[in-house]
Structure 1
């Protein structure tokens, strides 16, 4: 099985979104996301995909949705009905790891299978209605921290399997 990483920008209050939007703009953070994800398989929910509006270049995109009539509008985008089905489709892609890119329900479904979390800590407390799942310190340990202008990128490694 491919390694599973969750990648998210998370505000101090746990917010990752307000409706389909990200409630901040931090220069350079999205460029770092691109560097981290190019050449890998991106798994995201339908709302996240629709907010982006297209598949991101140089990445395989798998969209999770329960809507049987969903059409991503691009023949190269794969659709899965569960996170396990998305992993099955990702296994067919010869290169790259599985990078989960949101939203909250997809992060929650993937958290138990992830080996790493890559969190851009945004030093804001914006209004929002979409939250990243709690990072349980008994399961995850900070392995590295990079400081950037306007945010820190923190790498967490799993230290224990969930019960």
Structure 2
């Protein structure tokens, strides 16, 4: 199973401010790239990131939580990333997409094959910074979007030769 990480940060590296997303860019969340990167695969979110979402995701969703263990409709829970990976493998998923919070991103980047990053071109105040993308990852795809605020998508992989496997939206073809 391929492991992907996806996250959004401001251009000054902020991902949260007091458990909220410190900007509003609904176009970035509703865009085709975010939907394809997340909802055609098993999406794993930390509990705070799940609670901060301002849109409803219709996909296979696994939330990491040490306090909840019972499924609620289409939302399932796992106590750890290791348990989430077991669930993904048992479910036959080709790819698991893991998104924040910060600690989950750090842990997931150590296991990841690909990183999908969205950068919002604002510089808000915040108290949680995105982790640094490991130096063994290479930037292989970028697309910029004008808007209010503008944003950019980037795809990083461990293997530069995977560029030939990219779709026109920067996602690896499964």
Query: Does the 8 A contact of 1:40 with 1:96 survive in 2?
Result: yes
Note the residue ranges of structure 2 that are not aligned, 5 or more in a row: 161-174
Residue aligning to 2:3: 4
Q: Does 1:114 align with 2:112?
A: yes
Residue aligning to 2:61: 61
Cα distance in 1, alignment partners of residues 80 and 40 from structure 2? 23
Residue aligning to 1:132: 130
1:96 CA displacement:
4.6
How many residues align? The count is 155
TM-score (ref. length: structure 1):
0.84
Matches within 5 A, 1:94-105: 94-105=92-103
Q: RCO (CA 8 Å, sep 6+): is it higher in 1 or 2? A: 1
SS at match of 2:110: helix
Note the residue ranges of structure 1 that are not aligned, 5 or more in a row: none
Q: Does 1:44 align with 2:45?
A: yes
1:36 CA displacement:
2.4
* Aligned-residue RMSD, C-alpha: 2.2
